[in-house]
Structure 1
């Protein structure tokens, strides 16, 4: 069982997409990761290792315009394109492992992508995990789209985690986008939020929503309205007191990842 990811590339909807796979020799399930805005899957090594030890083959793409994938940096014209690329990764994993169930895990913008994926292709999923998802109402979108000029202000890395090392690593990471939002991307995100709200319930798909109570990047109450719009008959939520945006990188990350694997165990049982 290797903890080193193998990278592969495929022709995405709008350019070459780089994906990673952490292969388990005999997986109980396949975990698919959808990362957040401006970042890349390389930041999820510790998440992948936890899931690998838990018996999963883990995979996921660097979204178009992110990380090692092609495309203008952080330019997204339509989130449906990113969902389609994610589906290519899921189908590839399913071809390699036809038996095991598939669990989709999305963080932040990746939570938006994962929720939309579940609405469109939920029949092929066994469970969904949403971490600090951009859903429902994200005032940042409205405010930035209303601005005449989008400010070129870097993210305050203190909002990511109470662990200062997370912010330092984020600032030093050359694969992370440190520039301003693009108006086209903001519009695409807003359109997708609306589409998800309109589409509604995820039905019987077991869903686990995790969020930090002190998330200033994607505030809890805005996401809650989105969760209420899509919640089906099997929703579990866990709000971590004082945790910030990246709960998988928080000071209590072991607790959070333990809750995720316990949820997956319940669903698989």
Structure 2
């Protein structure tokens, strides 16, 4: 797979940095949507797997994250972030017209991707949700009830059983290591309601990946949202729950199995 390229787009709230992992003859497009406080550069391994599988891969740093503009980790409206992701999809489609588009969203990126599928689902061939913030996620309400948001950053140990993952996260200068901010928490709460009320995604194939020891986005709360999004028994939902795995299943000790599950799902749903 070729080296990463970078693009700058005029996002809804300022300059948007977009990472591209090119492919000389792709058979589909994969759009990676990263989580809270991190950046798309952490998805190099995922991009490599998808590239070897035939994808040209694109991934923005969201507003307030990574190399994009904005106050750090402030997202005032996730509808704007969905619009930014859609602009990246347009960039990818302009470079590779007619190819199927797969959306892969992790954590906060799962919330963004779920809302994207509600707004633009007809443009997607498949949706992959990893530890998605969707359904009954109690953290925003709990923190918003406090007069002051506590300075309790994400514990690196909650990400993966692989200690090297936590160490790299803690040392990454592009990762936010401070407290959550009230406007972002308010946007989370608002968008969780919007997605809950926004209807299902019809027959769009959805793959849901989750660790059963995810303490950041507990599995039972996500299940409520995933089942609602996919329309229950009438939808096309594939779920893979990994015993003992924590929040970042793409960086877990069993990630070879996770990647195999992703590519097997895509082999089923992509046009031959």
TM-score, shorter chain, exceeding 0.5:
yes
What CA deviation, in whole Å up to 9, does each residue of 1:58-79 have, x standing for no partner? 0010000000001000001100
Instruction: From 252, 261, 266, give the equivalent of 2:263.
Output: 261
Structure 2 unmatched runs, 5+? none
Alignment of 1:116-127 (within 5 A): 116-127=115-126
How far off its partner does 1:189 sit?
0.8
CA distance in 2, matches of 1:243, 1:153: 22
CA distance in 2, matches of 1:154, 1:221: 23
How far off its partner does 1:35 sit?
0.2
CA distance in 2, matches of 1:121, 1:41: 22
Question: Taking structure 2 as the reference length, what is the TM-score of the superposition?
Answer: 0.97
CA distance in 2, matches of 1:87, 1:118: 10
How far off its partner does 1:258 sit?
1.0
Question: Taking structure 1 as the reference length, what is the TM-score of the superposition?
Answer: 0.98
How far off its partner does 1:154 sit?
1.9
What CA deviation, in whole Å up to 9, does each residue of 1:155-185 have, x standing for no partner? 1111100000000000000000001001000
Partner in structure 1 of residue 17 of structure 2: 18
What CA deviation, in whole Å up to 9, does each residue of 1:69-111 have, x standing for no partner? 0100000110001000000000110011012100000000000
Partner in structure 2 of residue 246 of structure 1: 248
How far off its partner does 1:49 sit?
0.4
What CA deviation, in whole Å up to 9, does each residue of 1:203-222 have, x standing for no partner? 01000000000000000001
Partner in structure 2 of residue 186 of structure 1: 185
Alignment of 1:197-208 (within 5 A): 197-208=196-207
How far off its partner does 1:148 sit?
1.3
Stretches of 4+ aligned residues off by more than 6 angstroms: none
Partner in structure 2 of residue 66 of structure 1: 65
CA distance in 2, matches of 1:241, 1:147: 34
Q: Secondary structure at the match of 2:227?
A: helix
Structure 1 unmatched runs, 5+? none
How far off its partner does 1:231 sit?
1.0
Alignment of 1:76-155 (within 5 A): 76-155=75-154
Q: Secondary structure at the match of 1:9?
A: strand
CA distance in 2, matches of 1:255, 1:163: 15
What CA deviation, in whole Å up to 9, does each residue of 1:4-23 have, x standing for no partner? 21001011001000001111
How far off its partner does 1:227 sit?
0.9
CA distance in 2, matches of 1:171, 1:157: 6
Instruction: From 230, 233, 236, give the equivalent of 1:234.
Output: 236
CA distance in 1, matches of 2:4, 2:58: 9
